[in-house]
Structure 1
Amino acid sequence: MLSDPIQSVKGVGPAKAGVLSREAGIETVEDLLYYGPRRYLDRSAFKAIRDCFVNETVTISGKIVGVIQAGRSRKYLQVLIDDGTDVLAGVFFRGITYFKKIFVEGEEVLFSGKVEFFRTKQIVHPDYDFFEADSRIQSINTGRVIPLYPSTEELKGAGFDSRGFRRIIRRAIDSHLDSVNDPLDGATRSRMNLMGLREALLAVHFPETISQAEDARRRLSYNELLIFQYYLQLLRKRLQRQGGNSARAVNGEVLASFMARLPFTPTGDQQKAILEIAGDMQKPYPMNRLLQGDVGTGKTVVSMAAAILAVSRGAQVAVMAPTEILASQHYANFTKLCPGGMKISLLTGGLEQKNKSAVSAELETGNTDIIIGTHALIQEKVLFSNLGLIVIDEQHRFGVEQRAKLREKGARCDVLVMTATPIPRSLTLTLYGDLDVSVLRELPRDRMPVKTLALPESRIKGVYKSVEKYLAEGRQAFFIFPLVEESEKLDLKSATGAYESLKAEFFPDRTIGLLHGRMPATAKEAIMGDFKSGKIALLVSTTVIEVGIDVPNANVIVIFHAERFGLAQLHQLRGRVGRGAHQAFCVLLYPDSTDGDGITRINALATNNDGFSIAEEDLRLRGSGEFFGARQHGRFTGFEFADPVKDYELIVAARAEAGKLVSSAVDGDESPDVLDGIRRHALFRGMRTSRLLAILS
């Protein structure tokens, strides 16, 4: 049976089973069969060593002809391989003892990496893999396509490099593949152009061609997407059942009064989003809406309108922001623009305990209408009298559990989640299929697009002169660095190091501030307060200012090591300027040694101000797992094969099929628990659901 423990596979004893469980989450035969390759190597694409050039990234194969330890002050290991055309050295400065054991003369090995030259062609710390001696594996692999598996040093130490995984997976397929039952009938597979499940599990591990491997991945992706979309559709259906039989009232006069008193005319997109939210808040069941907007399109005003509607019918509002800086800014904006009779409070971790207690007491008794805060809002001792609306800003920065804890503080709350990181359409369908979506693309009429320049660091002195010119005119500037302090491992400029040199050498007559995430909350607030008031002319910072910081007088941002950031993150940083009446500039600096691909990517941002198209490109370049910069914040962490970049059409098909399944379900037959309902559904019993459901739970 597929549920057999992994020790039932020949060659996996108790110790190795423990490593597989700890490092890869593999506990059963099914877990092993669904442990997908991270990539494939096509032997026909290998390069001969004689044809390799310096700075070229290649994959080569050859026989190990020498393993030599060398060096005096700094020891290193050379592993020489010969492919019949020339010899190349794999050079290892770390893990020498380990590599001396695993690299044995006469073994066939693959090396991948960038070619360098020091006395001979070499690759420093190459990615490596070994060929099998097992003829059965060779024959089913046809000697052409080689799967490479995710691994760790502990896995490799237990024998589970890619070669080790291929061995035990081959054995598991031989012994257990006949236990696999396909839940999709032949007609469905034919209509969807999908492989059979047994065929897919064999081909994903031992494909005859790269295209066959992709067909197998596509079938396994559909399984995951169908389960996930069914989960989202069930969530939506359950939410709609939470309402009563009658519509809820909203106060249109209060909303009209708020809109009329704004010191600016809302954009068409803002007005549309506010009407969509007002419509949601009239329905019998709670609102569950995502508001996504490009940088500077005005999400905050839309959330204020929602808050005013909630308060006007006697409910309390909670606004949760990811940082204390952003929470404080929201508090200032809400206080400025919301009607004077509303009681608005701020609750963050940086408040003194006596102030926290006072704010919490006002909240519990119902004296506070709107509470704005950070993670402090989800503490158990923070209680509400009548929570009716939850607004979660930059929601992808909060984990699933954190968002759920806030929702638990009120029965049948309306929920508005917001993000200023435009989300590609495939990710919107994948991650937020249970939410209605409002989109803000339109910038305020008086806002000029930011002019962006991509420059090598050798032109830094000219940049400093230009910045000084704007500072002399009374403007302000941001200098952004990827690190707080210098790193021995990475040759990158740091915020603290630059702060000292900028003060001493380049801007001695200007007041310069330093801001980074390690500073106490009170210190960060003081620095931002001084920058907003104009006391600080130049703010040296890490990416802590990436989201939401609004300083209209700042019209220049210089981003050092722009090649280290994703396109979406650079676009967010660029959005910190251009909020005032003056033309704004963004300078993207990169090392002169940056390769052509890196420069092309940076230049693509310099010529594009559309956050949504930038997000699509960023997703394509970096993949869904890294799109938000931290895997734990995305719901897609449970996917092993599905990829929103590649699988948009599959997502649409799975969404449509899941909708039919939910619509055809008999209400009384459904489990009260959504995840249990998936486990019990006949269609999903033949699909691997354990890992995905564990993530969702």
Structure 2
Amino acid sequence: MTPLNLQDPITKLSTVSPAFAENLRRGLGIYSINDLLWHLPSRYEDFSTITPIKNIQIGQQVNIFGKILSIEKTRTWKKRMSIIEALVSDNSDSVKLVWFNQPWIEHKLKEGKYIFASGKYTAGKNGNYIGVTFWENIYTEPGRSVEAPEIVIEKTEDKPLLAIYPETEGITSRWLRYIIAQALKRIGEISETLPQEVITKGNLLDINLAIRQAHAPKNLDEANKAIERLSFEEMFLIQCATLQSKLRMSNHKAAPIQMDVELIKDFLGRLPWELTQSQRKSAFQVLKDMEKTSPMNRLIIGEVGSGKTLVAALAMLNAARSTSLGQTKSGWQSVIMAPTEILAQQHFKELARLLTPFKLRIGLFTGSTSKITPKRLTESSMPIAKPKLFKEIKNGEIDVLVGTHALISKRAQGKSTRSTSSGQATKSSLLTNEPLRFKKLGLAIVDEQHRFGVEQRSILSKMQQELHPKPYTLYPHFLTMTATPIPRSLALTIFGDLDLSLMNDLPQTRKPITTEIIPIEEINKIYELVRKEIIAGHQAFIVYPLVKKSDKMALKAAEIEYEKIAKEIFPELRVGLLHGQMKAKEKDETMSAFKKGKIDILVATTVIEVGIDVPNATVMVIEGADRFGLAQLHQLRGRIGRGEYESKCFLIIEKGGNPSTSLRAGSKRLKAFERLTSGPELAQEDLEIRGPGEILGTRQAGLSEIILKALKDVALVEKSRETAKEFLRLDPNMKQYPQLSRRIAKISANLHLS
């Protein structure tokens, strides 16, 4: 039989047909033998001990093997929940197996076939039963040949555990065990990626032994050691990638911007409040970073409402008023990019309020709007044509530019031109497509963007004029800010190339927000509470999952519910509507009216989850709350409780429905959210409930399932990071390890590291 290589396509295995290969590719991302062997079990079932049915006891967790005698499907009367029952017999007795609310299982079971099953033996009103937690069809009796011989388990302790894998449509764990066993028989010696000194120091298994033990361990200790070895390798590679990125960034040149202590005292002295301790610490870290000749590359993770924008404003003021390179007035420009127009508009207004007293000029550029603060403070802002705005930025007349992704769009780079019918670009079109260039860009800030990629970073860097005839480019200092809770293990790994600042304390005047889960049947009680808050002079948000009604999802939509809220429920109150599909001008007008108190209740979608700051808003009602993630709920709840008033957040859930796995997870999320208020605690809870793949977006993050699981292990993350630091200290360019270097380069590309 021809030996296999790791790079061989999966179809090299004789049992993998083109149809199965397509299922493996589409559902599990398995293209090659390497992908297959690194598709590790998510857990193991120990069937080394099979309990005869006659010996099982009430309350006991048991494994059984038997023949299916009959199958029955019923439905409960009250909850309308489906129940699948199968009567199974071995040579000693028979027992009823029960699956709750999994109707699809009926089509997987066959009378006369054999089954492995595990679960708790329970006493019920209609007789005793095993509530099945795991099961697998077997198509013959133990000891006889089957399609996959390795899964037949005899009563002996030296037989393997049963590996259970992430599955997809048409691909079961049983079939995966079979083809993986085939691949392991034909694969040659797998070469090591890790340096021998790392393996020895970490007391790690050989790669070949680790792969075999991971798929067919004799016991859990073997399984755990194998998974730890493979997880450590993947984590070590990511840590090397992020640390190398950090090293490369430190080799770039940036303008050293000195901290102006007197200017900072002046700025802080004009504020009607004192900075929190974490604001002071974060601001100091940012300002000290900017004094260096290499670019700052810092991430501020802050609680919702912790004052990250104020720290950014302080840094931008210090940059604009700085002196450097022997000049009396140097002045470096800043740019801040926000994910939505609403947040960009708010940043523009807030920065204008904070910085125009220091004679800084602020500009705004989004996909639909261009504004500036005037040279003479006769009004707060004025519209400006894009070509004129770009010209003022290029000439250094704009100190701070606020924008959305329009800042780095092709339009901003001058790559799109309008042509006449003859195909010639007009004079006005050439002017319009003048690219965005800064005279002296010293600071770039990205708000609520977890990973600002190489391409975008490069675009911002090229927005400068050439300041010096020297052969290097001056990079701007980079600051990233987020209020999304990020678990410590993710911060150390995915964002390992960034220096971290944490802002977890809120202003002392803030009062805790009360959160409560409310069934939809009690919504009228919540409406009355909203009415009382409005009468007391406050305002409220009511958030819906959708903008428009969907045929595919039975969820409420903001546009339809707005009509009902405004005309039927609160006809005496002023109700507004805000969602992402509205024109920019309409959104701006609605938000402005809400902030000025001209709207009592704002019906909205999640477009409000970032950048809305209305201290008078004290109630947040979230309909279909189980459809939102913890991070999103945390952001929405952060829209209230910004003043000195007590605030309340209500999570409205539908009654009944199909308690599927996703909905059960949703219920777990909501209970955690009701109990917890701090970002770090919610981040860890989110990691446990959903896993890092859901938090980051597996495809987007470019991470393997091994890493996604390992990210829950903070000790492993820290161990791999320390090992990577020591290894790179001795050989930063990895000249002795070309294979290792190539794998790390691939990871860097997937993670968008600079």
Choose between structure 1 and 2: higher helix proportion. 1
Partners of 1:63 and 1:388 lie apart in 2 by 73
Q: Which runs of 5+ in 1 are unaligned?
A: 671-676
Partner of residue 539, structure 1: 602
Q: Over residues 620-658 of structure 1, what are the superposed CA-to-partner deviations in whole Å (9 max), with x where a residue is unaligned?
A: 222112235x4455x463453453553211111111111
Structure 1 residues 287, 373: closer, same or farther in 2, change over 3 A? same
Partner of residue 508, structure 2: 445
Partners of 2:346 and 2:488 lie apart in 1 by 30
Partners of 1:174 and 1:193 lie apart in 2 by 26
Partners of 1:27 and 1:601 lie apart in 2 by 34
> SS in structure 2 opposite 1:513?
strand
The AA in structure 1 aligned to 2:448 is E
Identify the match of residue 618 of structure 2 among 555, 563, 587. Answer: 555
Partners of 2:316 and 2:619 lie apart in 1 by 33
Partner of residue 178, structure 2: 167
Contact 2:545 2:623 in 1 (8 A): yes
Partners of 1:560 and 1:391 lie apart in 2 by 33
Q: Which runs of 5+ in 2 are unaligned?
A: 76-81, 139-145, 322-329, 371-382, 413-435, 465-473
- Percent identical: 36
Partners of 1:219 and 1:439 lie apart in 2 by 32
Structure 1 residues 567, 90: closer, same or farther in 2, change over 3 A? closer
Contact 1:452 1:587 in 2 (8 A): yes
Q: Superposed, which structure 2 residues align to 1:299-310 within 5 Å?
A: 299-310=308-319
Partners of 2:356 and 2:271 lie apart in 1 by 11
Structure 1 residues 551, 195: closer, same or farther in 2, change over 3 A? same
Contact 1:61 1:111 in 2 (8 A): yes
The AA in structure 2 aligned to 1:438 is S
Contact 1:422 1:612 in 2 (8 A): yes
Structure 1 residues 134, 482: closer, same or farther in 2, change over 3 A? same
Partners of 1:449 and 1:89 lie apart in 2 by 42
Shift of residue 281, structure 1, vs aligned partner: 0.7
The AA in structure 2 aligned to 1:317 is S
Shift of residue 437, structure 1, vs aligned partner: 1.3
Q: Over residues 229-275 of structure 1, what are the superposed CA-to-partner deviations in whole Å (9 max), with x where a residue is unaligned?
A: 1111111111111138x955344333333222223222222122111
Deviates more, 1:234-243 or 1:103-112: 103-112
1:227 maps to 2:237: yes
Partner of residue 327, structure 2: none
Shift of residue 322, structure 1, vs aligned partner: 0.8
Contact 2:193 2:739 in 1 (8 A): no
Structure 1 residues 510, 220: closer, same or farther in 2, change over 3 A? same
Structure 1 residues 662, 143: closer, same or farther in 2, change over 3 A? closer
1:347 maps to 2:347: no
Partners of 1:398 and 1:48 lie apart in 2 by 58
The AA in structure 2 aligned to 1:315 is W
| Count of residue pairs brought into register by the alignment | 665
Partner of residue 29, structure 1: 33
Q: Over residues 317-355 of structure 1, what are the superposed CA-to-partner deviations in whole Å (9 max), with x where a residue is unaligned?
A: 111111111111001101111134222111111338984
Shift of residue 616, structure 1, vs aligned partner: 1.9
1:384 maps to 2:398: no
Shift of residue 10, structure 1, vs aligned partner: 2.9
The AA in structure 2 aligned to 1:12 is V
Shift of residue 414, structure 1, vs aligned partner: 0.3
Deviates more, 1:543-552 or 1:219-228: 543-552
Q: Superposed, which structure 2 residues align to 1:465-614 within 5 Å?
A: 465-487=528-550, 490-591=553-654, 593=656, 602-614=670-682
Query: RMSD between aligned alpha carbons?
Result: 4.3
1:10 maps to 2:24: no
1:207 maps to 2:221: no
Partners of 1:32 and 1:162 lie apart in 2 by 12
> SS in structure 2 opposite 1:305?
helix
Shift of residue 390, structure 1, vs aligned partner: 0.8
Contact 2:72 2:84 in 1 (8 A): yes
1:259 maps to 2:241: no
Structure 1 residues 602, 337: closer, same or farther in 2, change over 3 A? same
Q: TM-score of the superposition, structure 1-length normalised?
A: 0.83
Partner of residue 133, structure 1: 147
1:275 maps to 2:260: no
Partners of 1:47 and 1:503 lie apart in 2 by 63
Contact 2:84 2:98 in 1 (8 A): no
Identify the match of residue 454 of structure 1 among 517, 522, 540. Answer: 517
Shift of residue 293, structure 1, vs aligned partner: 0.8
Structure 1 residues 565, 70: closer, same or farther in 2, change over 3 A? closer
Shift of residue 555, structure 1, vs aligned partner: 0.9
Structure 1 residues 331, 91: closer, same or farther in 2, change over 3 A? closer
The AA in structure 2 aligned to 1:224 is E
Structure 1 residues 151, 519: closer, same or farther in 2, change over 3 A? farther
The AA in structure 2 aligned to 1:329 is Q
> SS in structure 1 opposite 2:356?
coil
Shift of residue 216, structure 1, vs aligned partner: 2.1
Structure 1 residues 404, 644: closer, same or farther in 2, change over 3 A? farther
Partner of residue 751, structure 2: 696
Q: Over residues 339-388 of structure 1, what are the superposed CA-to-partner deviations in whole Å (9 max), with x where a residue is unaligned?
A: 34222111111338984444334333433221111110111342222322
Identify the match of residue 403 of structure 2 among 373, 378, 387. Answer: 373
The AA in structure 2 aligned to 1:231 is A
> SS in structure 2 opposite 1:640?
helix
The AA in structure 2 aligned to 1:684 is L
Q: TM-score of the superposition, structure 2-length normalised?
A: 0.77
Shift of residue 182, structure 1, vs aligned partner: 6.5
Structure 1 residues 306, 61: closer, same or farther in 2, change over 3 A? farther
